[in-house]
Structure 1
Amino acid sequence: MKRFLFLVSILVLSVVVGCSNGDTNDVPGNQEQEKSGTENIEVNNEQIEDEDISNENADNKESSGNGKAEDATLKLGETGFMKSPIGEYEITVHNVRLVDKVGDYPPLTDSFFVFNVSITNIGDNTISGSDVVISDLFNEEDRKSGSLILEEINVIDEDIEPGETVEGEILFDQSFSDSYSLIFGYAIITSNELTWNFSFDEIDK
């Protein structure tokens, strides 16, 4: 009987020691995992903050850069900045007038629209005047008319050197409407888009 009680005591003591060892091993492991998880969160947060700072700096660099081309809506007499594969240049649309006939050519619609514009080359390379004046005139019904080239008007077709400003005319054949939009860079993905909005009353008749 004593021998049996002795064996039982040894067995119970072994179980208690085993449990104690298991608890001791679990605690450091959990602490290390929690510590590691905290470090990962801190590292991830630092990475996110660094990415945010980098993105913010990139945005600031882009938006603060001189001559950044953007789409713009303007009025007659105002100047817009164009940036395209052609080059970098400023366009000023001064005014527009109606003409019943250009040379021996009558309009196919209601009238010819002649815009007085000036182009300033603010880039480093020579640009072609015949390229930069390509544009579209929309009426209130969104009917589009492309720019025309006739020798009877003051066409801008010469090369424009860096720093040089030239003046000339752009011609359209368009129908009458209450309002219009003259657009440079329309539907061209490699260029920004400039729009001059004006009413029929602003046209010189």
Structure 2
Amino acid sequence: MAASGFVGRNTELGLLRTRLKRVAESRRGVAVAIRGRRQVGKSRLVQEFRDAEQVPYLHFTATKGMPVSESLATFLAELKRSGIAANPEPLPETIGGWPDAFRLLATTLGDTPTTVVIDELPWLAEQDTVFEGALQTAWDRLLQQRPVLLLLLGCDIHMMEPSPPTTARSTGEQTTSSSIRSTRPKSVVLSASTPLRALTRI
């Protein structure tokens, strides 16, 4: 049933629940991009989903024009506040960049399915040219191996597309080509009308 004051999004909430169920069953990460114009309800949709599912979650919202160091400090503060850390060891006081931030996130995730929300993602890409590549690498190598539902709000559609093939040379001088498998996030496109228009990739 839709929450009071929040109607017309049951289909989209159901899609997110399906992705979370897939995470729980496979014990592997799933990424979903939620895109749309401002004030169309992206953050509210995620909030309703979090409240209904009651799984551990981290919700980080970027601020336009904020220095990278402050964004990282805010991310770290939200990570500490979230309580998702499975490792009892104290988290660091500072992090040096987004590659470190995503590695830290991956190490904090335990065996319990967890939702991680990165809100206003394009602003992070504007602040730091390293951000997109850091997220891509962390997803391919770390986060995809963890039971995490990664929700990317305001995400550009080209984010996290499959990586091109790379060539690896063995010690026997034989050369083989293999694709580094990368998961492009499924997409939900929000419009001003209800219900949301979900792309067929969902």
Q: TM-score range by the shorter chain?
A: under 0.3
Structure 2 length as normaliser, TM-score?
Answer: 0.25
Structure 1 length as normaliser, TM-score?
Answer: 0.25
**Larger of the two Rg values belongs to structure:** 1
Going by fraction, where is strand more abundant, 1 or 2?
1
Return the structure number with greater relative CO, CA threshold 8 A, min gap 6: 2
